Amino acid sequence: MNLLLDLGNTRLKWAWHDGAALRPGGALAHAEPGWAQAFGAAVHAGPAPSRAWLAAVGADAHVAVIEQVLRRVHPACALVRVHSPAAGAGVVNAYSDPQRLGVDRFLALVGARGRAPTAALVAGCGTALAIDAIDAEGRHLGGVIAPGARRMREAVLASTARVLPRGEGPPVVFGRSTEEGLDAGCALAAAALVDRLADEAAALLGTAPALWLHGGDAAALAGRLRHRASLAPDLVLEGLARWADLA
């Protein structure tokens, strides 16, 4: 049994994989007090893994906490940290320095290849909006990174004294308050970037790529797009499972 760990900038997600299918795990925001204890309790309650596979773009301090929790809860479990290679699991990395490609982005491409071996555009919709393209042979064409919609909104709120947080509400296109306008502008900016890259990828590839969205803001973003997108919330974990199977 493998324990799969996806440590992002905001959350830790995990699942178990028995070689056939993902078994749902959970997710915790690592800014919340007590997240390490909650993670330890959840992992202790699940099946004992022989290996834990970690994809981490979050802080090294959080990696150290995960290592400590696993040593305490499952001392016989070996922890393997995954880094982006030049090529592997059907994906060829476009970066001249392969490890500079975020491992979550690489594994999301691996996950997309596992779902369908076609040209694809993969958008990770979290703290950052990271969008990568691959062709039908799995060659990574490169990607872009921009602030996610929430981070754009936070940046404006941090630099002005007259705009207040709006809270959750139905999406709008033309806001009737400054706060509504800010929310709509950030959401539409993120959606416009994904739509533009879908058009650019189609022109480059000669065919419309499959569009996969994952991350905490994926569902909200999907509703703003002109292009049809498929939600794949566990795409990084799916890629990590494929990587573990091939190791």
Instruction: Please choose, from the candidates 135, 83, 81, 137, the residue with its C-alpha nearest in 3D space to the C-alpha of residue 105.
Output: 83
The catalytically annotated residue of 18, 97, 104, 199 is 104
Instruction: State the DSSP string of 204-229.
Output: HHTSPPEEEEESTTHHHHHTT-SS--
Q: Residues near 44 by Cβ (< 8 Å), separated by ≥ 6?
A: 73, 74
Active site residue 199: no
Q: Which two tokens stand for residue 207?
A: 């065919």
CB 107 within 8 A of CB 240: yes
Nearest to 106 by CA among 135, 137, 143, 79: 143
**Residue 187: closest CA among 226, 148, 146:** 148
What contacts 120, CB < 8 A, 6 or more positions away? 109, 112, 113, 133, 134, 209, 210, 211, 212
> Could you list the active site residues?
104
